[in-house]
Structures are given as structure tokens and as C-alpha cells.
Amino acid sequence: MTKVDFYILTGNSGSREQTVCRIAEKAYRLGHGVYIHTSHQSQTKRLDELLWTFKKNSFVPHDIEAESPDPETPVLISHQSKLTDSTQGHRRQVLINLAQEIPMFFSSFERVAEVIGQDNENKASGRQRYKFYRDRGYSLDTHTLS
């Protein structure tokens, strides 16, 4: 069953997108395939750029799903509501969700990372996602980042 981790940002923990980059880098270094699900196209583009610059001397091979010629790219970013055939064919272990809703394909991943920011709208949708997973019996862990 999919394991779900909630990362709660507080204080000076940085932006949600920077946190996503750190989680993606860690998962990549551990040898996991990563799929980052964003809310919209502009967020997809921002993450694409940020993964190149978020940390000095860091390299996280990634691409935007619709633009990737290689489905085996370790980290794919997309805002699409369903996985493409090429993404489904390449087993990815980690889904990082930046969208306000839970993507319906979440259970095809071993792990889901939900990153919750400090704004009220994001906290409220995060609580709803937590309740959804909890009510269905998923294993949940919460990490407060400061």
C-alpha cells in the first residue's frame, strides 16, 4: 500500500517549490524515480527552472513530461490529470504532489509526498487530503520543517 508523507512548512523552511526540489533530489540520490505533480503549467515551468538552480553544485536530471524524449528520465514534472502511457510504463516510486487535489493515480506509487505551505488555502486543502488518505487506511507520517 502507498505510504504518504506530509511535509509541513513553518518559519524559515523555504517555499513549497524549494522543498519539493530537496525531496526530489533526495529521492533521486536514493535511486528512486520521481514524478512531480503540479497545479498548472506555469508551476511546472517554474519547477523545471528551479531544479537547475535551487542548490549550488546540485544536479537533478529532470524534464517536463510532455517534452521528455526519454521516459526513463529520473525526475518528471507535469500538471496533467493523468499519467501518460510512457510514464506508466516506467515504474516511478515517488509522487510529489503540489496540486490542491489528490491525483487519482497516486496509488500507483510506493510513496507520496504532500508539501503543505503556510497559506490558509494550502493548509485547508492539505487537511482535506490528509483526511482522505487517513479515512482510506493509508500509512501517514507528518514531518514539520522549520
pLDDT at 54 over 80: yes
What pLDDT score does 88 carry? 56
Query: pLDDT tens digit string along 27-49?
Result: 999 999 999 999 999 999 999 99
Contacts with 121 (C-beta within 8 Å, 6 or more apart), sequence order: 100
Q: Which residue type does 78 have?
A: S
* Residue environment code for 55-73, b if the CB has 16+ CB neighbours within 10 A, otherwise e: eeeeebebbbbeebeebeb
Q: What share of the chain is helix, strand, coil (3-state, %, to 5)?
A: 35, 25, 40
pLDDT at 59 over 90: no
What pLDDT score does 31 carry? 95
Please name each of the domains of the chain with its CATH number.
Answer: 3-145 (3.40.50.10110)
N-terminal to C-terminal alpha carbon distance within the chain: 29
- CB of 13 within 8 A of CB of 144? no
Q: Is the pTM of this model over 0.85?
A: yes
Residues in the chain, how many? Answer: 146
- CB of 36 within 8 A of CB of 75? yes
- With cut-offs at 50, 70 and 90, classify the pLDDT of residue 19: very high
| Average predicted confidence (pLDDT) for the chain | 90
What pLDDT score does 58 carry? 83
